[in-house]
Amino acid sequence: MSYIDGFILAVPTANKQTFTDHADTANRYFIDQGALRVRECWGDDVPDGKQTDFRKAVQAKDDETVVFSWIEWPDKVTRDACMAQMEEASKTDDRINPDKNPMPFDGMGMIYGGFSPVVELDA
């Protein structure tokens, strides 16, 4: 069964194109490492909640947009192998080198985790 890495982050709205370029470059690395697909979704209907919501979760400022992203892997083994060698790979692969492809957002506010699907439906 597949394995999913999920991410929620706040990106300065003015950096949308820079973020898109950064993500397109970096995510090609994950595809090369076995990811089945990657999605970067720019928030355009992210309502404020009564108790919590996406904006509060990432402490988004008024001038930031919430991004919801995920990487689908064929299995956790493939994902773990990629993650285990990322730090070393970032020294030689410019796509994931923070000096060559810097994140156009504050990574400290990013929420992420790995998930095992329990329901999968396809049209």
Please report whether residue 116 resides in a domain.
Answer: no
**Domain at 18, CATH number:** 3.30.70.100
**Helix H segments across the chain?**
16-32, 54-57, 76-89
Task: Report the distance separating Cα 67 and Cα 58, nearest Å.
Answer: 10
Q: How many domains does the chain have?
A: 1
Domain membership of residue 23 as a residue range: 3-111
C-beta atoms surrounding 120 within 10 Å: 7
Assessment of whether the complete model's pTM goes beyond 0.85: yes
pLDDT by residue, tens only, the chain of 123 residues: 899 999 999 999 999 999 999 999 999 999 999 999 999 999 999 999 999 999 999 999 999 999 999 999 999 999 999 999 999 999 999 999 999 999 999 999 999 999 999 998 999
Which of 78, 86, 89 minimizes the C-alpha distance to 36? Answer: 78
Identify the CA nearest to 66 among candidates 75, 81, 53, 78.
53
Tell me if 120 is assigned to some domain: no
Contacts of 88 (CB under 8 A, 6+ apart): none
Strand partners, 5: 71, 114
Q: How is residue 59 annotated by DSSP?
A: T
